[in-house]
Every structure is written in C-alpha cells, then in structure tokens.
C-alpha cells in the first residue's frame, strides 16, 4: 500500500508542470558590497552599499543605479522606507540614522546620543504610529520620532546581540501583539514596536 502511494505521488510530481520564475541580475558599481534592500515607493529599489559607504538607488526598468554619499566613515547596514517615501538607513560607521529624500537624494543625519556611542546600528522598522525603531548589535535598541527628531535609546536586556527588528501584526483580539510605550522616561523601557 505504501509503495502504491509513493508511486502515485512520484507520478503526480512528474506530470506537474513546473513554472520557473524569471530572475534578472543588475550590475552594480564595483566594490558596492550590497547588504540590505528595500522597495522604493516609485518602483526603484534602495540598497546599502556597505563597502563603499553609500546608499544606492536602482531602477530595475533601466538597470541604472545612482549612489548617494552618506558621509565620511559611513558603513550603512539596514534600509527601510518611510511613509513619505524617504529611505531610512542604519549607519554603524556614523553611529547615526540617516534619512535620504527620494527626490533630492539629500541626506539628513540623526546621530545617536553619547550614551549609545558605537552602538553597532543594524536594522530598523516603522511602527504604526510612524516611529522608527532600531537595533544596535553592541547592546542597544531605540526609536526615533521623525516628526521632531527625538531619539531614545535603551540598553538591550540581554546585552550585546540585538540584530533584526520587525513590526508585528495586530493580535486577533484587535489589540497590538506588542506595545510601544510613550510613557515618561522614569518608567521601564517600552516593549518593541507594534
């Protein structure tokens, strides 16, 4: 019986038409060392060129890419896109969050406070309130309010190691699966982004 079932499964697999996805590769400037990517709101693709200390913007329709300088000593790691279409970069070399305007391709820096020197910035995500949450591999996490530029940073409960971060979906009850607090600084650090 088991042999018959296995033979039937094998025959079904052989008779199934396999559809292959088309893969297209795009050349980037030599030495770019692309690390993270994020889709831009206009169909282009942002990428961090960590080895060159640049942010790239690739147009998959033309294959052309542009590079945006982020500053001397830059080592961009993560990139996410805000509601306004701007690219937000976690830059470990500058120890800053960097906002790049999608039209002017100009960079605005948000340095981390001295208490989080050499945080090892890595990843970021926006919560539903529009706050940018980020991690620092050397034992930090924090958030930036893009409306006023205010940055808050906390030591990670387990010390060094925070790497990735994401925004969670709503729980079935309609309440957030995790909560980002806006309480005064005297209270414990907030939960991660929602």
What is residue 176's predicted lDDT score, i.e. its pLDDT? Answer: 32
Q: Which residues pair with 153 in a beta bridge?
A: 142
- Check residue 118 and give left, alpha or beta (phi > 0: left; psi -120 to 50: alpha): left
Was domain 26-155 assigned CATH 3.40.50.620?
no
Domain borders along the chain are 26-155
Q: Where are the alpha helices (DSSP H) in 18-157?
A: none
What is the predicted pLDDT for the residue at 57?
97
Q: What is the predicted pLDDT for the residue at 180?
A: 35
Give the pLDDT mean for 158-180. 65
Q: For residue range 32-45, what is the model confidence (pLDDT) as tens digits? A: 889 999 999 999 99
Q: What pLDDT was estimated at residue 3?
A: 59
- 87-91 sheet: strands from edge to edge: 76-81, 87-91, 96-100, 107-111
- Residue 131's pLDDT is 95
**Are 138 and 159 in contact, with CB atoms under 8 Å apart?**
no
Compute, in degrees rounded to 10, the torsion defined by CA atoms 183, 188, 192, 193. Answer: 0
pLDDT-derived band at 20 (thresholds 50, 70, 90) equals confident
> Per-residue pLDDT tens for 87-111?
999 999 999 999 999 999 999 999 9
Handedness of CA 101, 106, 108, 109 (dihedral sign): positive
Q: Which comes out higher in pLDDT, residue 171 or 185? A: 171
At 51, give phi and psi (nearest 5°): -65, -25
So what's the pLDDT on residue 4?
Answer: 55
pLDDT tens, residue by residue, 116-166: 999 999 999 999 999 999 999 999 999 999 999 999 999 999 999 888 888
Tens of pLDDT, residue by residue over 59-85, are 999 999 999 999 999 999 999 999 999
Res 2 pLDDT > 70: no
């Amino acid at each position: 019986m088991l042999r018959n079932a296995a033979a039937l499964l094998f025959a079904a697999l052989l008779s199934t038409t396999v559809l292959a996805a088309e893969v297209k590769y795009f050349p980037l400037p030599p030495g770019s060392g692309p690390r993270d990517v994020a889709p831009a709101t206009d169909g282009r693709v942002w990428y961090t060129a960590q080895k060159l200390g640049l942010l790239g913007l690739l147009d998959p329709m033309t294959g052309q890419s542009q590079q945006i300088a982020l500053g001397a000593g830059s080592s961009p790691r993560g990139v996410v896109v805000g509601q306004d279409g701007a690219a937000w970069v976690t830059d470990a070399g500058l120890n800053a969050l960097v906002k790049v305007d999608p039209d002017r391709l100009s960079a605005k820096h948000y340095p981390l406070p001295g208490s989080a020197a050499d945080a090892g910035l890595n990843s970021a995500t926006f919560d539903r309130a529009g706050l940018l949450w980020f991690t620092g591999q050397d034992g930090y996490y924090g958030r930036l309010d893009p409306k006023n530029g205010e940055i808050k940073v906390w030591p990670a409960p387990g010390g060094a190691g925070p790497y990735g971060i994401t925004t969670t979906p709503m729980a079935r009850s309609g309440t957030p699966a995790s909560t980002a607090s806006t309480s005064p600084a005297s209270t414990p650090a907030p939960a991660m982004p929602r």
